[in-house]
Amino acid sequence: SPTTATFTPRITGNINSNTLDSTGNYKANFNIFNGFAKVIFRINDRFPLSFSGDYLYNVGTTQDNQAFQLGAKIGNTKDQGNFFLGYNYKYLQADSTISLFVEDQLGSTDLQAQEGVFGVKLFPNTILSATVQAKNGIKKFGQTNYTIRANLVQSF
């Protein structure tokens, strides 16, 4: 007879915030619809202004099944010395997606986050950026967690 394995992974930094049943298996199925839109206003070559939206809907469950991200950004890193500033608001209900697939700076679902991003093109193939993020739970609202991330991207 077939057996059912219990999936309870342990990944550092991810709290596996999806809803589990009494046996430790996911309560929800994950059949995810994803939509994305972006509008860019080309004010000038150096400072385009963009607005974006990303939406997830998990049709595999009826509760805590939605997530979205809204973002705004001005500037670009097309040429050396160019920079950008950005802001994102993220809202992920517990079963909107598999929590293990969420970006590592968030580390789970069932949360909301705000982040500011700054980036500058230092050299023709080098971009330095930093992200400051404040996140808190949706159902388990508690202390706000702050993270800072720096990225140095070298293209070849």
Q: How does pLDDT run across 19-66, given as a tens digit for each residue? A: 888 888 889 999 999 999 999 999 999 999 999 999 999 999 999 999
Mean pLDDT of the chain: 90
CA distance 123 to 90: 31
Cα–Cα distances in angstroms (integers) from residue 29 to residues 32, 58, 65, 107, 111, in the given order = 9, 8, 10, 20, 20
Amino acid 69: pLDDT: 98
The answer on pLDDT for 96 being more than 80 is yes
Of all residues in the chain, what percent carry a pLDDT higher than 70? 90
CA distance 151 to 156: 16
Q: Report the SS3 class of residue 33.
A: strand
Q: How many CA atoms lie within 13 A of 105 on its CB side?
A: 18
Average pLDDT over residues 142-155: 94
